[in-house]
């Protein structure tokens, strides 16, 4: 019997998502206007934030763009925010959007070099502990001088390449064959356990690298988008910003590295997964065959990519232009000198970033609701009502909690403007203003590792095509981040109390 139109519409709604998930989103959409009418926009605003976080948490069941977008559209229709506010929020983050569109695509054209380097690294560094420390430390250093999203794009590209090589071979294909990496049907029962272990191994490295971007990003003016805003308002240049943050950022960095050692050593909460012996052999064979068959044209391509990487590092370190524009230059240089000039070959590079860019604009719509409904105002008023000596640690924690709930760039923007207004009004001294500024920057960057929505780099990882391949869900990211969240937040809080 053919489906009715009504059943067909319901079947098409959110595609292959589970029926209970579809029903939940429908309930959200029905419930929101009822809550707004009966309980007011403040309660409805917080409910909307919770619903959006739910959509992010279910990212592996349904990409959050569609359910989150429906919630955002409903918020506009209900008058909880306006298209103008959403546009202004998007405009304020235009640099991040440029970065996602062009820099992530630029990294795509450097993947041959990245896979070449990291395959050799995985083969030669046999200690998982050393490898984890290396991922975390290098990600931290690069994030301090480049930016966290770019570094995250690099490690995603690396992990996707390493996963692809192993999955292809265990599915019975050759290294050069076409293959769907999401299809496990060709994996035998005897290799299934190795595949699960390999996924765990890559999850560990990805989380160490992601946390490393936060550890490095907090330290410098260019590490995170909000750092530039904070530095501009406080009047701090690159060197002074680093020195001002160091009483908190350096102890937290050390604690972060020690946490990396501890979770690997004692196999805490899913860490400590080793590279399976079969996977090592496959990577060694892949590396050997690639070295043997590499032509002069391929060597020239790798050399060009190396030069482009050097250009990228120098351009970002000296901030020659906005990150996204540097990414566009990377695309031009990497493709012009490696012969990639066909439109369809260029198009693949943008497939990873554009869905996330759209999701980010939906996220800005939720942030616009927070802004228009003043959802954070009670917290701000409470903190300013405290004694001066309590304000710094409480600012650190308040910024951390709110960043984990919403977005650290938005939270930092709201708080730094409030603090600056208080300073200009003469309510606080310059010294106290600077202490609060440090608390805001470190608070938005450190405890926000608790959830994927706390930092754009974490959210990008969660919604990347790699996440479902290595079974990296929202809940698993929260669990893997938990040891870091606890140790880094406590050490950061103690530093704001005793070292500032």
Under 8 Å between Cβ of 66 and 14? yes
pTM of the complete model beyond 0.95: no
Among 27, 55, 80, the domain boundary falls at 80
Check residues 30 and 356 and name the one with the higher pLDDT. Answer: 30
Among 337, 353, 369, the domain boundary falls at 353
How many whole angstroms separate alpha carbon 49 and alpha carbon 375? 10
452 lies in a domain?
no
318 lies in a domain?
yes
Looking from the CA of 418 toward its CB, the CA atoms found within 13 Å total 20
- The two tokens of residue 134 are 């290396």
Angle at the Cα of 25 (from 20 to 28), degrees rounded to 5? 125
Q: Give me the number of domains the chain comprises.
A: 2
Looking at the predicted structure, is the pLDDT value of residue 432 above 70? Answer: yes
DSSP 286-338: HHHHHHHH--HHHHHHHHHHHHHHHHHHHHHHTT-S-HHHHHHHHHHHHHHTT
Looking at the predicted structure, is the pLDDT value of residue 349 above 90? Answer: no
State whether 106 and 39 are in the same domain.
no
451 lies in a domain?
no
Under 8 Å between Cβ of 352 and 465? yes
112 lies in a domain?
yes
Output the average pLDDT for the chain: 86
194 lies in a domain?
yes
* % residues pLDDT > 70 (the chain): 96
In this predicted structure, what is the pLDDT of residue 176? 64
State whether 186 and 245 are in the same domain.
yes
State whether 313 and 188 are in the same domain.
yes
- Enumerate the H helices of 93-237 as residue ranges: 94-98, 104-108, 111-124, 128-145, 148-170, 189-217, 225-234
12 lies in a domain?
yes
Which one of 155-159, 194-198, 228-232, 476-480 scores highest in mean pLDDT? 476-480
Under 8 Å between Cβ of 210 and 139? yes
State whether 48 and 178 are in the same domain.
no
In this predicted structure, what is the pLDDT of residue 177? 63
How many whole angstroms separate alpha carbon 94 and alpha carbon 231? 19
State whether 76 and 98 are in the same domain.
no
Per-residue model confidence as pLDDT tens digits over 88-140: 988 887 877 888 888 888 888 888 888 788 778 878 888 999 999 998 998 89
- Give the mean model confidence (pLDDT) for residues 402-406: 81
State whether 132 and 249 are in the same domain.
yes
Per-residue model confidence as pLDDT tens digits over 252-273: 999 999 999 999 999 998 899 9
Residues 6 or more apart whose Cβ sits within 8 Å of residue 203: 270, 273, 470, 471, 472, 476, 480
State whether 139 and 5 are in the same domain.
no
Looking at the predicted structure, is the pLDDT value of residue 399 above 80? Answer: yes
In this predicted structure, what is the pLDDT of residue 181? 64
State whether 259 and 117 are in the same domain.
yes
In this predicted structure, what is the pLDDT of residue 67? 93
Q: Assign 81 to helix, strand or coil.
A: coil
- The two tokens of residue 431 are 């010294």
In this predicted structure, what is the pLDDT of residue 253? 96
142 lies in a domain?
yes
Phi, psi for 174 (deg, rounded to 5): -85, 165
In this predicted structure, what is the pLDDT of residue 130? 93
In this predicted structure, what is the pLDDT of residue 119? 79
Per-residue model confidence as pLDDT tens digits over 179-207: 666 666 767 777 888 889 999 999 999 99
State whether 275 and 332 are in the same domain.
yes
Per-residue model confidence as pLDDT tens digits over 47-56: 998 898 888 8
How many whole angstroms separate alpha carbon 309 and alpha carbon 334? 9
- The two tokens of residue 434 are 């600077």
In this predicted structure, what is the pLDDT of residue 166? 86
In this predicted structure, what is the pLDDT of residue 419? 86
Residue 174's pLDDT band (boundaries 50, 70, 90)?
low
State whether 131 and 269 are in the same domain.
yes
Looking at the predicted structure, is the pLDDT value of residue 347 above 70? Answer: yes
442 lies in a domain?
no
How many whole angstroms separate alpha carbon 135 and alpha carbon 488? 18
DSSP annotation of 276 reads: P
Domain extent at residue 344: 94-222+239-353
- The two tokens of residue 417 are 């403007």
How many whole angstroms separate alpha carbon 125 and alpha carbon 456? 30
State whether 40 and 107 are in the same domain.
no
Check residues 237 and 262 and name the one with the higher pLDDT. Answer: 262
- Give the mean model confidence (pLDDT) for residues 64-75: 93
State whether 63 and 18 are in the same domain.
yes
- The two tokens of residue 261 are 């050692």
In this predicted structure, what is the pLDDT of residue 9? 79
- The two tokens of residue 94 are 């235009």
């Amino acid at each position: 019997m053919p489906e009715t139109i009504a059943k067909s519409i319901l079947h098409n709604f959110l595609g292959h998502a589970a029926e209970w998930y579809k029903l939940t989103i429908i309930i959200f959409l029905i419930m929101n206007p009822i809550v707004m009418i009966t309980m007011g926009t403040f309660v409805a605003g917080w409910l909307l934030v919770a619903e959006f976080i739910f959509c992010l948490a279910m990212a592996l069941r349904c990409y959050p763009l569609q359910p989150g977008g429906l919630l955002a559209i409903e918020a506009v229709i209900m008058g909880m925010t306006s298209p103008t506010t959403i546009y202004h929020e998007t405009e304020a983050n235009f640099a991040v959007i440029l970065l996602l569109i062009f820099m992530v695509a630029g990294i795509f054209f450097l993947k041959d070099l990245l896979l070449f380097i990291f395959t050799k690294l995985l083969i030669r560094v046999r200690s998982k502990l050393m490898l984890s420390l290396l991922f975390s430390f290098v990600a931290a250093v690069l994030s301090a001088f480049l930016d966290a999203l770019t570094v995250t794009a690099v490690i995603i590209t690396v992990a996707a390449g390493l996963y692809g090589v192993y999955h292809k071979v265990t599915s019975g294909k050759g290294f050069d064959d076409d293959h769907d990496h999401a299809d496990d049907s060709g994996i035998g029962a005897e290799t299934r356990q190795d595949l699960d272990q390999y996924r765990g191994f890559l999850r560990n490295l990805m989380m160490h690298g992601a946390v490393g971007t936060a550890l490095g990003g907090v330290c410098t003016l260019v590490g995170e988008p909000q750092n530039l805003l904070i530095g501009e308002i406080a009047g701090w240049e690159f060197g002074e910003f680093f020195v001002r943050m160091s009483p908190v950022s350096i102890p937290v960095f050390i604690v972060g590295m020690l946490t990396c050692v501890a979770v690997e050593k004692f196999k805490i909460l899913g860490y400590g997964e080793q590279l399976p012996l079969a996977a090592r052999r496959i990577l060694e064979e892949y590396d050997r065959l690639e070295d043997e068959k590499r032509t002069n044209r391929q060597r020239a391509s790798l050399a060009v990519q190396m030069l482009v990487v050097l250009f990228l590092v120098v351009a970002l370190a000296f901030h020659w232009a906005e990150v996204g524009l540097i990414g566009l230059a990377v695309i031009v240089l990497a493709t012009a000198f490696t012969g990639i000039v066909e439109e369809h070959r260029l198009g693949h590079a943008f497939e990873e970033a554009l869905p996330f860019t759209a999701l980010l604009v939906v996220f800005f719509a939720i942030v616009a609701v927070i802004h228009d409904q003043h959802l954070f105002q009670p917290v701000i008023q409470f903190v300013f009502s405290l004694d001066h000596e309590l304000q710094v640690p409480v600012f650190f924690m308040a910024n951390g909690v709110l960043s984990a709930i919403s977005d650290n760039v938005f939270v930092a923007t709201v708080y730094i403007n409030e603090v600056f207004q208080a300073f200009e009004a003469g309510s606080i001294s310059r010294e106290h203003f600077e202490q609060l500024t440090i608390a805001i920057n470190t608070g938005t960057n450190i405890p926000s590792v608790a959830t994927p929505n706390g930092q754009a780099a974490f959210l990008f990882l969660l919604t990347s095509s790699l996440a479902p391949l290595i079974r990296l869900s929202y809940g698993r990211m929260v669990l893997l981040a938990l040891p870091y969240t606890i140790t880094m937040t406590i050490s950061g809080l103690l530093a704001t109390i005793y070292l500032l």
